[in-house]
Amino acid sequence: MQLVLDSEQRELRSAVRKFLLDQSPSVKVRAAMVSESGYDAELWRRLGAELGLIGLVVPEEYGGSGAGHVERSVVQEELGRALVPSPFLATAVLAVDALLALDDEAARAELLPALAAGERIGTVAVAEGRSDWDRSGGATTATERDGRWVLDGVKTLVLAGDVADLVLVYAATPDGPGWFAVDSAPHNPAAGLERTTLTGIDPTRRLARLRFTATPARPLASADPAAALDLVADLAAVALAAEQLGGLERAMEVTVDYAKVRVQFGRPIGSYQAVKHGCADMYSAWEHGVSVVRYAAWVADRAVQGESAELPVAAELAQAYLGPAYFEVATGMVQYHGGIGYTWEHDAHLYYKRAKSSELLFGSPARHRARLADRLGV
């Protein structure tokens, strides 16, 4: 087990941190979150073409860097710290992981290079009602007509669903669930695809509802589509936990810094035990969070090589721990800032909202704990 970053991984972290400090400060985050697309297209281009971060886990033969999940979790931490509104989780995590988990070599060769380069935005569409992922494919159907497949149904809570060029849809067929690719470039939108950007509490992360009406789709070969779905879900849980850890870390730092300089009753509020002990609890959550995320990312690397069976437990552990921990810290961030923390002007509310949207994105904490219990054999 390796829970400490090596020197290259630490260098990656400081390079990404510096890049985002320069290129995605709060003012740029706020501009992106109210823009039409909901993200900063120029920043996205540089993350892909210049830094090669989007294709981090994509093998070199498909235009990626062939790095691992520990590296990707390091990048996710930094994106979470800076609250960057971006389709990274949708593209670099969900879509990439799905293509790698499936058994469609032609689709990989054709689709991964553009995703890795940041030229196309990808995502997966699985959820229908709540955020739970139904292994049956749900009420969305894929039907073959004259050798061509079409999709019918509604998928929702789709990350970057309003801007994605490539949507990987998990749908039911008469022979069980399957994966289908819907190509919908802005200049050439897919027929029968209606996108609705959802109104949400977290302005830094957009979700969409996608309605498919006889939408042409390309079937993706898979020996076991449901097993691929499980793997994608587990890897996403790990990547999201890393993003949550980065946000937790920054929320804690900003709060501690403020507690050192904000004076009330003649002394810094951080000298009062009520505030100091709250900050200490934030720190304890951070130390545990780092340990859990390093472990889960280490397991993820071994699991995709077929060398570990621990991923199902590690992934739910990561969500069961980090989801509530981040929201708790973000709540404390607002609280210890007092009135200023409750303003639109201060960034505290952005962390609070991101923490809540992340905590529930792949199911409530209670659902994660229930799945953890399943996987522990309780």
CB of 169 to other proteins, least distance (A): 31
Cβ–Cβ under 8 Å, residues 182 and 109:
no
> Which position among 279, 297, 350, 355 is part of the footprint of other proteins (CB under 8 A)?
279
What are the CB-based long-range contacts (under 8 Å, 24+) for 284-288?
285/248, 285/252, 285/325, 285/328, 285/329, 286/245, 286/248, 286/249, 286/252, 286/329, 288/321, 288/325
**Stretch touching other proteins by CB under 8 A, among 1-9, 79-87, 170-178, 237-245:** 1-9
CB of 164 to other proteins, least distance (A): 32
**Stretch touching other proteins by CB under 8 A, among 19-27, 30-38, 52-60, 367-375:** 367-375
Q: Whole-angstrom Cα distance, residue 268 to residue 278?
A: 15
- Determine, following the binding rule CB under 8 A, whether residue 146 of this chain makes contact with other proteins: no
- Determine, following the binding rule CB under 8 A, whether residue 14 of this chain makes contact with other proteins: no
- Determine, following the binding rule CB under 8 A, whether residue 343 of this chain makes contact with other proteins: no
- Determine, following the binding rule CB under 8 A, whether residue 260 of this chain makes contact with other proteins: yes
Q: Which amino acid is at 135?
A: R
Q: Whole-angstrom Cα distance, residue 108 to residue 106?
A: 5
Tell the residue number behind the tokens 């090669």, with chain if given.
Answer: 52
- Determine, following the binding rule CB under 8 A, whether residue 369 of this chain makes contact with other proteins: yes
DSSP conformation letters of 142-173: EEEETTEEEEEEEEEEEETTTT-SEEEEEEEE
- Determine, following the binding rule CB under 8 A, whether residue 130 of this chain makes contact with other proteins: no
Sketch the per residue contact string, 304 through 323, with other proteins: x for CB under 8 A, - otherwise: ------------xx--xx--
Residue 44 sits at the vertex; the CA angle it makes with 211 and 107, to the nearest 5 degrees, is 55
Nearer to other proteins (CB atom), residue 84 or residue 318 = 318
Nearer to other proteins (CB atom), residue 218 or residue 369 = 369
Tell the residue number behind the tokens 């994105």, with chain if given.
Answer: 361
- Determine, following the binding rule CB under 8 A, whether residue 274 of this chain makes contact with other proteins: no
DSSP conformation letters of 284-344: HHHHHHHHHHHHHHHHHHHHHTT--S-HHHHHHHHHHHHHHHHHHHHHHHHHHHGGGGGSS
Nearer to other proteins (CB atom), residue 220 or residue 275 = 275
Nearer to other proteins (CB atom), residue 47 or residue 269 = 269
- Determine, following the binding rule CB under 8 A, whether residue 283 of this chain makes contact with other proteins: yes
> Which position among 12, 142, 292, 330 is part of the footprint of other proteins (CB under 8 A)?
292
Q: Whole-angstrom Cα distance, residue 213 to residue 193?
A: 6
Residues that bind other proteins (CB under 8 A): 1-4, 256, 259-260, 267-268, 270-273, 275-277, 279-281, 283-284, 287-292, 294-295, 316-317, 320-321, 366, 369-370, 372-373, 376, 378
